[in-house]
Structures are given as C-alpha cells and as structure tokens.
Structure 1
Amino acid sequence: MRHRIPFALCAALLPGTVLAANLNVSIEVPRIDVAEYHRPYVAVWLEREDKSVAANLSVWYQQKKAAPAATGGAPAAAPNPAGGVKWLPDLRQWWRRSGRELQLPVDGVSGATRAPGEHALSFNSDKGGALANLPAGQYKLVVESAREEGGRELIDIPFQWPVKQAQQLKAKGERELGAIVLDVKP
C-alpha cells in the first residue's frame, strides 16, 4: 500500500527546505538639479550579519559603447572598450566586499546605468539565481550609489529569510538615492 504525503508536509519535515519566495526591490534614482549631471553607478546586494556578501543582485554601470559613425567630416569618437568598469571602485563598500573579485560583466547582474525615476528588480527563489540556495538567517538588502561629480550614498534594509509572511520594508536616501522599497513574499 502506498502512502501519500502532501508536498507541504514534506517541506515542513525536511529541515532547511525553503519554498519559493519573492524578493522585489524598487529603487528611486532622484532627479538632481546640477549643471553637469551624470547617471549614478548603483550596486545592490544581500549582506549577512557578518557584513559578508551573500549575493550580488544588480550592478548598474556605464556599458561599452560602439564607435558612432563619422558625419560631415568630424572624426568618429573612439569607443570605450572597458565601458565604465574603471569607475566601479567608487562603489566603495560593494567593491571592497565583493566587486573586485568578480569577472565583469556578470550575466543577470550587470546592467547599464539608469536615468532618474523608479526602477524595479524582481527575484524568485525557485527560478535559480541569487536566492535559490540562500540559507535561513538575518540579512540586509544593501543599495549603494556613487555619481561622478556627485556624492555617494549607502542604504540598508534588514530582513529575515526565509519569509514567513509578506512584508514591505522601506528606507529613504538623502540625496543620491530616493525611496528604496523591499517587498518580500513567501
């Protein structure tokens, strides 16, 4: 005779098993009224209690540009073969804790700088990636921003993993970052 055990019961009986969970992040890049505005470099990561990096979620920096076609006798500008990798150390905390060890670009993590406005990131633990093997514990979502001819800002939001119930956690920057919203859902 076969015994059927419901999936939810199996998950509860196996220690360390985490069911699918979502982590959604909204990052506001504020419009700053200055003479020479540069889009910020932004790093987003999960940090353990000991301040080590548990997962890199996103890094926005200047991407490589193709050489524009010459028009009307003006010489074409040379492309920047390295993109903006040279300036990533300006994201000081991220760079010291994880960035300098990465081979950039990182598939699914690296992206271009973003214009002012709200930007959404979404992660799901059952789709692989950063959350798939994240052990239970206390974490911080950390967002760091650095802008040429501008300032730096670092914001963190603590949360518990795995998520037992849906939560919306918020923080707000003072100048280089606006509202940061973390939605965690089981």
Structure 2
Amino acid sequence: MKPSIKTTLACALAGVYTVPLHAASLAVEVELPRIEVAEYHRPYVAVWLQSADRQTVRDIAVWYDYKMPKEEGKKWLKDLRQWWRVSGRGQDELADGITGATQAPGKHTIQVAATHPALAGLPAGEYEVIVEASREKGGREVLRLPLAWPAQQAATAEAQGESELGHVKATLTP
C-alpha cells in the first residue's frame, strides 16, 4: 500500500527516513602536485576499488582527455597500466558517471554514495582503494589504501605520493 502524501510529509517532518542497509559513503581525496617542468601535461588518473584477491574490481573515477577529436584521448588510457589490466581493457565504453576531464594541480575530492555502482551490492570483505596517475612526458605512480567493507565505524586511510601524486586519503563513513 502506497503511503499518502500526508503520511510521507509527517514522516519527513518527524525526521523518519528509510535508509538502506550499509548506507555508507566513501570520500576519496586526491592531491595532484604542482610539478615544475618545461612541458607539463595534466595526468590521467584512475581510482578504483579492488578486493584483496583481485576478483572484485569497481571503478570509481577515470580522469582523461575525453574531449579530444575522434576519442583520441582513449588511446593513452593504457598508460594507467594497473587499472588497464584489471578493468580498462575489458570495457568497450567507460561507465557513465565515472569519467571526467584531467584535473589541474591541487586537491580534488570524489564523493561516492552508497548507491554508486562501486559500493552498491558490494560483498563484505577487505578491499583497497587504488589511485593511479600517469602523465605524458612524466612518470606513473600507484597508491593503495586499505578499506574494510561494510563500515562499522568511520575509518580513514592515507598515503603520500612521491612524484605524480601528493597526499591521498580515503574516508569511509557508516
């Protein structure tokens, strides 16, 4: 039976909401350092969630030059070598909602809601949030942040990059 508008309004005013089980959220903060070189190109970046046994892989974000004519930017996605091996090469099209433009130096936060495909229906277990960056005429770097799912309490994992990535932090909120 569908609730009436009056019942729905009364529940909303009383602060009663239905929340799905394991309605956690994940925030991934990625810092791209300012690199002083003669020819700087913004890095391609992939962020994904992977189980300890590497059987479950869920993409969170892929930043690349997707507006190039004839989708030419896609040909350099394979420079994100680890992401390419576990996820990228098996995709005809990157999932809508995870792709974005390359980012300028600075801090960037990716908010992942419980309904996002990376978290929705995720089995309980030990995972890693993996951040990989690769830059033309530059280097490549990968950072791994441990994560236990589902979140029983707020948890934070942090890592410091040495070249292509700065400080990276993943915060899981139950």
Aligned to 1:120: 109
Query: 1:56 and 2:44 equivalent?
Result: no
Structure 2 residue matching 1:93: 3-state secondary structure: helix
Letter in 2 for 1:30: P
In 1: Cα distance, 2:22 partner to 2:56 partner = 22
Aligned to 1:136: 124
Compute the displacement of 1:159 (Å): 1.2
* Percent pairwise identity: 49
Aligned to 1:27: 30
Instruction: Provide the TM-score with structure 1 as the length reference.
Output: 0.80
Written as runs of structure 1 = structure 2, the 5 A alignment for 1:158-173 is 158-173=146-161
Written as runs of structure 1 = structure 2, the 5 A alignment for 1:31-180 is 31-65=34-68, 80-125=69-114, 127-180=115-168
Letter in 1 for 2:83: W
Aligned residue pairs, count? 156
Compute the displacement of 1:53 (Å): 4.3
CA contact 1:45–1:53 (8 Å) conserved in 2:
no
In 2: Cα distance, 1:172 partner to 1:146 partner = 16
Letter in 2 for 1:39: R
Deviations 1:34-62 (A, max 9, x none): 00000000000001111244210000000
Deviations 1:8-52 (A, max 9, x none): xxx9xxxxx942001001000100000000000000000111124
Deviations 1:79-104 (A, max 9, x none): x2114101000000000111011123
Query: 1:182 and 2:153 equivalent?
Result: no
In 1: Cα distance, 2:116 partner to 2:46 partner = 20
Give the stretch that moved more between structures: 99-108 or 36-45.
99-108
Compute the displacement of 1:105 (Å): 3.6
CA contact 2:57–2:87 (8 Å) conserved in 1:
no
In 1: Cα distance, 2:72 partner to 2:129 partner = 27
Structure 2 residue matching 1:86: 3-state secondary structure: helix
In 2: Cα distance, 1:102 partner to 1:135 partner = 22
Instruction: Provide the TM-score with structure 2 as the length reference.
Output: 0.85
Structure 2 residue matching 1:130: 3-state secondary structure: coil
In 2: Cα distance, 1:104 partner to 1:166 partner = 34
In 1: Cα distance, 2:86 partner to 2:155 partner = 27
Structure 1 residue matching 2:118: 3-state secondary structure: helix
